[in-house]
Structure 1
Amino acid sequence: MATTPATLPKSGAVSKGYNFAYAWEKNAPLTEQQNAAISALSHAVAERPFPANLEDGCTAMPEKESALEEAGAMDAVLVNTHQFYKWFAELESAMKSETEEKYRLYESTLEERVKTCDGILQQVDDTLNLFEELQSLHSSVAIKTKTLHDACDQLLVEKQRLIEFAEALRSRLNYFDELENASTSFYSQTMNIGNEQFLPLLKRLDDCISYVENNPQYAESAVYLVKFRQLQSRALGMIRSHVLSTLKAASSQVQAAIRGSDSGKNAVTEGVEASLIYVRFKAAAGELKPIFAEIESRSSKKEYAQILSECHSLFCEQRLYLIRGMVQQRISEFAKKEALPSLTRSGCAYLMEACQFEHQLFAHFFPASAPDVSSMAPLMDPLCSHLYDTLRPRLIYEGNIDSLCELVDILKVEVLGEQLSRRGESVAGLRPILQRILADVHERLAFCARTHIREEIANFRPSDEDLDYPGKLERSATSSANVNDNSDIYAAWYRPLEKTVSCLSRLYHCLESSVFTGLAQEAVEVCSTSLQNASKVITKRATPMDGQLFLIKHLLILREQIAPFDIEFSVTHKELDFSHLLDHLRRILRGQVSLFDWSRSTSLARTFSPRVLENQIDARKELEKSLKSTCEEFIMSITKLVVDPMLSFVTKVTAVKVALSSGSQGQKLDSVLAKPLKTQAFASPDKVAELVQKVGTSIQQDLPKVMTKMTLYLQNPSTRLILFKPIKTNIVEAHIQLQSLLKSEYSADEIQSIGMLSISDLQSQLDGLL
């Protein structure tokens, strides 16, 4: 049987073709769209028709069958078995011969095609060999070309590096070569500040110095740096000399112009003088502005910062030379004509105006330095000092608190608060001297306030008219009733109270909180003491009730008047205590401890070290305590005035009962107490009726007088109600105690004969007094 194509061995050409196709597929893969197209094409040709030659082979068999049929093979008559087998063998041989013929034809066709494919693959193999040879030649050429290109690139890089190195070397040497050029230029006779090459040459010199400073590793860099700095110092010295000469020349021109104006008239007006001092000076010194701008642009370097500071000083000196006399003259004129408050207001306003003009002129020449007001200190401080020197002697002799408070208001509100804020940074240089003046005024005001508190309040010596209470209140009430207002309300106050309230009201907004707190604490304390002393005198001259109501009235007013002050009236006093020193010295003298034993608590250092004692005093709490005790005394005195007989009777009965219960008084007392209470001489119904009548009379006669006097001293009804309420409670409580005693010891008829009011009627009667 012939070999099928599937078992044929692969030739070399087929293998190379397969490898080429695989390499091609790997290096040039198809896209998804291309794969889809191939798949569609394969499905389209899956059931293709047989080739023409095969179709002929397939149709040959029927033709042969028909030939056999024509030969009579199919129609043969089989007589016996032998004939059948013979016929069948012939038929089988014919069929086998026809089958083998078909496959031989197919085999020969395939062999022809294999030979054709082998020829084609051989050609492809030859072509691939030629391609590989060509690719090898191309790779060799590409390598040689790349090597040549790399060599060229390397040569170009090397060339560029050498060029850059040469340029860098040349640029570095330029800084050092510049020394000779700069030396020649700066030491030239024609070189000056006005030369157009001066500033560019100075900038180049600065660059050279910076470069040499940043590269100390170069040879002889230190030597070059010293030489460069010498040239820089010479250039800056030329600038300083030029600035000084120009400013002096401008000042001379202004002075000459002022003298020329003086020759034409007796005095130069203020407007003309200001025009000459500012406008003429600005024009004469205008050439310095570009130089100052250059210096300010380089002020980050210490050499230029120093020369800039010197230029500021030179400018301020020349300006001070021009305007000092004018400022002194104006302030002196103010001092001759005006009082201290007006002098302060006028002097500060004029000085602010002058400083504003000076700041504008300074900003014209030094725009970058103008925001720093300290640059103008050499000019501002002397001008401000003249105002300070004028005001201080008058401040020292000013003893009026009102004037000093007015000064504080002018300086704090008008000058520092309004004018200084409105004019802005142009007058900010005045702030230190104005704050210094304000501090001096505060100090003087605090001193005068303490003197006022000591002399007018603590050491107040009242006259008979000052202590005329309640007469002063009666006259004040009559006067107020006539004019129908309360304009003379302060006339009824005790003068130390009026002085205290007035002083604290003026000082509250004028002094610092810490200073005012100390003064307020002291003033309230001495005022309370003065009121208490006056109350004692009034008690002796008038009645105890007048003394108590006087003290209550004025303590209430003092508490009310100090309430709006948002401060703490608590002050801590610190004192040094040496009381332990004597005991330590005695122990040392007795030899109990060593004087030089530094390890013990009784050493010399500890022995002579004082102890610090702190004593905290709260004037407001002391005032409340004094007011409370005075009110309690008044309540008890009025209670005693009205119901003293009743209280004495209840107290006596209570004492007798206590003595009886203790059994310590003996036989005689027992015999007395063995009798009923109403049989006792002091507790008979008539005696009880008499004391009840006496208390009733006091309620009807004395208590209204008390209320009238309370109305005279205490105008506020709520205050009188608060003070009368405990008095009413005490009176009612005394009646309740007596009624309770009567119910337990007396009969109903006896109680009725005593004639005591009911509690409800008593309360109604007391309420009617209000």
Structure 2
Amino acid sequence: MSATAAKPGVPKSGAISKGYNFAYNWEQNAPLTEQQQAAIVALSHAVAERPFPPNLAKEEVAKQENGLTISTKHNTAEDSGSIETVLVNTNQFYKWFTDLEAAMKSETEEKYQHYVNTLTERIQTCDSILNQVDETLELFNDLQLQHEAVATKTRTLHDACDRLVMEKQRLIEFADSLRNKLNYFDELENVATSFYSPNMNVTHENFLPLLKRLDECISYVESNPQYAECNVYSVKFRQLQSRALAMIRSHVLSVLKSTSSQVQAAIRSSARDKVAVSEGVEASVIYVRFKAAANELKPVLEEIESRKPRKEYVQMLTECHKLYCEQRLSLVRGIVHQRISEFAKKEALPSLTRSGCAYLIQVCQLEHQLFDHFFPSSSEDVSSLAPLTDPLCTYLYDTLRPKLIHEANLDVLCEIVDILKVEVLGEQLSRRGESLAGLRPTFERILADVHERLTFRARTHIRDEIANYLPLDEDLDYPAKLEQSTEAKLEVSSSDQNPPDVSRTWYPPLEKTITCLSKLYRCLEQAVFTGLAQEAVEVCSSSIQKASKLIAKRSSTMDGQLFLIKHLLILREQIAPFDIEFSVTHKELDFSHLLEHLRRILRGQASLFDWSRSTSLARTLSPRVLESQTDAKKELERSLKATCEEFIMLVTKLVVDPMLSFVTKVTAVKVALSSGNQNQKVESAIAKPLKDQAFATPEKVAELVQKVSSAIQHELPNVMGKMKLYLQNPSTRAILFKPIKTNIVEAHVQVHSLLKSEYSPEDIKNILNMVSIPELQAQLDNLL
């Protein structure tokens, strides 16, 4: 094909170049894979040997004796016959072969020539079409240029139209804005004409819309002070607004007064039924007619409340509240005062407090509900009702305060505190919500007065009934008082009656202290109660100690100690539940240094007006602040510990005092021997064996052992009996008896040790006959 393409007769055109370029680009952009290339190679091998054309007959080659004969049939499109040729020699064969090659070449060239001719015609056709396309594109470009020119002109025309439309719209908006602004100023004449009309009043249907329009004009004028004559129009608008608000105030006052007059007339008409009048706070005549008046005033009042952010309407609303409270107070004041006065005549102070507070809560709740009908948006602010509720609360406060000042009973005062704190403030006010929050200051003020009176009476009670208590003979009759109580318990237990009160055996100041603190604990604040508790515990402990000394003189030292231990233990146990600190810091002013400074000034050692020195007048006259901390609970613990130690030593000496004296003397002798005394007589006297000493002979030791044994068998049971009589708790007795037991056993252990080291076994067995330590411990344990 390349040879054919290289012939001079083949025309060269752009189509052929484009064809070759396309094939080249195709090879570059879509290369064959190795598998595809392998397939092409295999295909080329398969067609490497071309078969004979089907129009050629099979050759028959016959070899004869005289020469070679070749028969060949040629079937072509032009000649379908057969050609038979007899080849005799080599020249004929070569000639035949040459003719055959020429025929084959002619046939092949004819086919390719036909293809070339076809391609040439197609290329000419394509070139013709390309020329036509170029002409068409030129025409299209001209048409596009013309279209763009038309579009540009059209767009310019549209932009101009849009600018004109926008300009027109701006002018229209400017005109409307100017007209709207001028409307605010033009409204002055219209509003003034309407407000000054003789037919205009608050109930007129145009009054509220005109008032709203007037507010809008005032707001606009005040927000645009740059306009000409703005201040003049503002003043005129304000005058109209003041006139309108004055009309509203007159209307509200007229309706309230008219309603109050109707209610008062209804009350006077029913004056013959005094019970109904006294209960008129709840009567429908006082509230129903005012609710009707609220419906009449509601449009105006709602309009005022809706404009609350404006100061003139805030003032107007406040004035309406005041007018309302004045009219309501004129109606209910007399009834409330009468009812509280009736409570004060018939009931005791606690009942008066409970009834008065409950009645006042009921009245204020009804008044708040009625107030909500008039001013729904203002009812949340309880201060708005203060001009009404405060005078009503004052009636109750003025009634209770004189009675509280003269009340001296702690129980009554504590009951009042419980009523106010729990029932009134804790339950009723909390349950009924914030509508009664206006009553809380008055109730808290009453509670503060009760706290103050209760604190004063508590201090007086502590001073008179505890600190300055003068005991009677029966108060100091110990242990007889405890023995009688024990007998009473036995009689009661045998007769199945209720056991007697344990506090009857207490010393009266102790019982009064515990009772007083129990009452005050839930009634007073913690700081106040802490001070009172510290003072009460301190004076109670002191009073018990004084009584203990009197009992020791009257009965015995042991009775006095056990009395003191018993009551201090009770006092410590009873104050334990109080979750407070009994530590109190006292501050005092000390002027003791003033005298010394004055003496130095009089001697001339210091100047009165020397402000640069420490002896100046200001420093001289300045007191010193001295702080001291007192902990009543710790003082109580110390007193209890000291008393227990004294009791333990008393019982120990009562039982084993001979042994303690014997051990002391033996220790003194041994100390003297170890000191190397130079006095030979004394040394010779001391150097004798212990059993030869006058105080330590076996007979003397046996005597002291017998005394101790007798004390253990006789005195110690009596002591335990007194302990059981005073200290009823077995664990308390065990704790107190444990060191006594330890001391007795320790004394016996020391004596046993001395006997083993200084005496013979015969003396110990025959003369002394001491009990063993295990037996002694068992004997002491049996006493518990």
TM-score normalised by structure 1 residue count: 0.87
Shift of 1:742: 0.9
* Matched residue, 1:384: 393
Tell me what 2:238 maps to: 229
1:516 deviation in Å? 0.9
Equivalent positions of 1:92-107 (< 5 A) are none
Q: Give per-residue Cα distances to partners, 1:655-698, cap 9 Å, x unaligned.
A: 11112211247233201112111111111111111111111111
Q: Could you say which residue in structure 2 is the equivalent of 1:757?
A: 771
How far does residue 419 in structure 1 lie from its aligned partner after superposition?
2.4
Task: Assess, with a 3 A threshold, how the Cα gap between structure 1 residues 468 and 2 changes in structure 2: closer, same or farther.
Answer: closer
Q: How does 1:142-291 map to 2 (within 5 A)?
A: 142-262=151-271, 268-271=276-279, 274-284=283-293, 286-291=295-300
* 2:679 pairs with 1:670: no
Whether the 8 Å CA contact 1:14–1:118 is kept in 2: the answer is: no
Q: For residues 271 and 386 of structure 1, do their structure 2 counterparts lie closer, same or farther at Cα, with a shift above 3 Å needed?
A: closer
- The change in CA–CA distance for 1:258 and 1:758 in structure 2 (over 3 A counts) is same
Are 1:542 and 2:562 an aligned pair?
A: no
SS at match of 1:189: coil
Q: 1:696 aligns with which of 709, 717, 739?
A: 709
Q: Determine the structure 1 residue equivalent to 2:62.
A: none
**In structure 2, how many angstroms separate the alpha carbons of the residues matched to 1:285 and 1:743?**
111
Aligned residue among 438, 444, 456 for 1:447: 456
- For 2:135, the equivalent position in structure 1 comes to 126
Aligned residue number for residue 627 of structure 2 = 614
Does residue 298 (structure 1) correspond to residue 313 (structure 2)? The answer is no
Kept after mapping to 1: 8 A contact 2:75/2:81: no
User: Does structure 1 conserve the Cα–Cα contact (< 8 Å) formed by 2:590 and 2:626?
Assistant: yes
C-alpha displacement of 1:765: 1.9
| 2-structure distance, mates of 1:540, 1:601 | 55
Q: How does 1:265-664 map to 2 (within 5 A)?
A: 268-271=276-279, 274-284=283-293, 286-484=295-493, 485-581=498-594, 605-664=618-677
Are the counterparts in 2 of residues 642 and 698 from structure 1 also a CA contact under 8 Å?
yes
Answer with 450-459 or 226-235: which moved more.
226-235
Q: Which moved more, 1:396-405 or 1:364-373?
A: 364-373
- 1:533 and 1:228 map into 2 onto residues whose CA distance is 88
How many angstroms apart in 1 are the aligned matches of 2:357 and 2:77?
147
TM-aligned CA deviation for residue 490 of structure 1: 2.1
Give the deviation of 1:364 after TM superposition: 1.2
How far apart are residue 150 of structure 1 and its match?
A: 2.5
Distance 1:650 1:385 in 2: 82
Q: Deviations over 1:121-180 (max 9, x none)?
A: 222222222222222222222222222223222322222222222222222222222222
Q: C-alpha distance in 2, partners of 1:693/1:739?
A: 14
Change in 2 beyond 3 A, CA 1:756/1:77: closer
Write out per-residue CA displacement over residues 177-209 of structure 1, whole angstroms, 9 at most, x where no aligned residue: 222222222233322111111111111112222
Q: Deviations over 1:313-349 (max 9, x none)?
A: 1101110011101111111111112211111111112
1:682 maps to 2:695:
yes
- Once residues 671 and 270 of structure 1 are traced to their aligned partners in structure 2, the CA distance between those partners, rounded to angstroms, is 111
CA deviation digits over 1:616-649, x for unaligned, max 9?
Answer: 2111111111111100000000100111111001
Distance 2:326 2:605 in 1: 72
Deviates more, 1:123-132 or 1:245-254: 123-132
> Structure 1 residues 676 and 188, CA, compared in 2 at 3 Å: closer, same or farther?
same
Amino acid at match of 2:225: P
Find the residue that maps to 1:573 and give its secondary structure: strand
* Equivalent residues of 1:575, 1:612 under 8 A apart: yes
Shift of 1:106: 5.8
Shift of the 8–183 alpha-carbon distance from structure 1 to 2, 3 Å rule, reads: farther
Name the CA shift for 1:605/1:219 in 2 (closer, same or farther; >3 Å). farther
After TM superposition, the structure 1 stretch with the greater mean CA deviation from structure 2, 166-175 or 358-367, is 166-175
Is the 1:507–1:516 contact (alpha carbons within 8 Å) kept by the matching residues of 2? yes
Distance 2:80 2:354 in 1: 154
Distance 1:96 1:366, change over 3 A: closer
Structural RMSD (CA): 3.4
Instruction: State the alpha-carbon separation in 2 of the partners of residues 67 and 758 from structure 1.
Output: 164
The answer to whether the 8 A contact 1:480-1:488 is kept is no
Alpha-carbon distance between aligned partners in 2 of 1:452 and 1:489, rounded to the nearest angstrom: 23
Pick one of 727, 734, 737 that aligns with 1:714.
727
Shift in alpha-carbon separation, 1:665–1:724, aligned structure 2, 3 A: farther
Note the C-alpha offset of 1:246: 1.6
Structure 2 distance, partners of 1:156, 1:488, is 108
Cα distance between partner residues in 2 of 1:632 and 1:89: 160
Using the alignment, how far apart are the partners of 1:436 and 1:522 within structure 2? 27
Please report how far the alpha carbon of residue 231 of structure 1 lies from its aligned counterpart in structure 2 after TM superposition: 2.0
% same residue: 71
Partner in structure 2 of residue 39 of structure 1: none
Gaps of 5+ in 1: 23-54
Q: Output one character per residue of 1:433-485: Cα deviation in whole Å (capped at 9) or x when no partner.
A: 11111111111001000000011101111122222222222222223322235
Q: Between 594-603 and 452-461, report the one with greater CA deviation.
A: 594-603
Q: CA deviation digits over 1:370-423, x for unaligned, max 9?
A: 122111100000000000000000100000101111111111122222222333
Contact kept in structure 1, 2:15 and 2:123, CA below 8 Å: no
Q: How big is each residue's C-alpha offset from its partner over 1:53-89, in whole Å with a ceiling of 9 and x where there is no partner? A: xx9xx9xx9869989997x9x8798899xx9999999
Structure 1 residues 182 and 668, CA, compared in 2 at 3 Å: closer, same or farther?
farther
CA gap of 1:324–1:115, structure 2 versus 1, over 3 A, is same
Secondary structure (helix, strand or coil) at the match of 2:397 reads helix
What secondary structure does 1:180 align onto?
helix
**CA 1:600–1:127 in structure 2 vs 1: closer, same or farther (change >3 Å)?**
farther
Provide the residue aligned with 2:743 in structure 1.
730
The answer to whether the 8 Å contact 1:531/1:554 transfers is: yes
Identify which range, 657-666 or 104-113, moves more after superposition: 104-113
Instruction: State how far apart, in whole Å, the 1-side matches of 2:487 and 2:251 are.
Output: 86
Tell me, yes or no, if the aligned pair for 2:655 and 2:712 is still in contact at 8 Å: yes
Residues paired across the two proteins, number: 728
* Cα distance between partner residues in 2 of 1:257 and 1:438: 38
Q: Distance in 2 between matches of 1:202 and 1:606?
A: 72
SS of the aligned residue for 1:287 comes to helix
Q: Distance in 1 between matches of 2:341 and 2:625?
A: 51
Paired position in structure 1 for 2:69 = none
Partner in structure 1 of residue 782 of structure 2: 768
Equivalent residue, structure 1, for 2:50: none
Moved more, 603-612 or 359-368: 603-612
Are 1:246 and 1:285, in contact at CA under 8 Å, matched by a contact in 2?
no
Q: Which moved more, 1:634-643 or 1:178-187?
A: 178-187
Instruction: Specify the alignment match of 2:65 in structure 1.
Output: none
What letter is aligned with 1:633? E
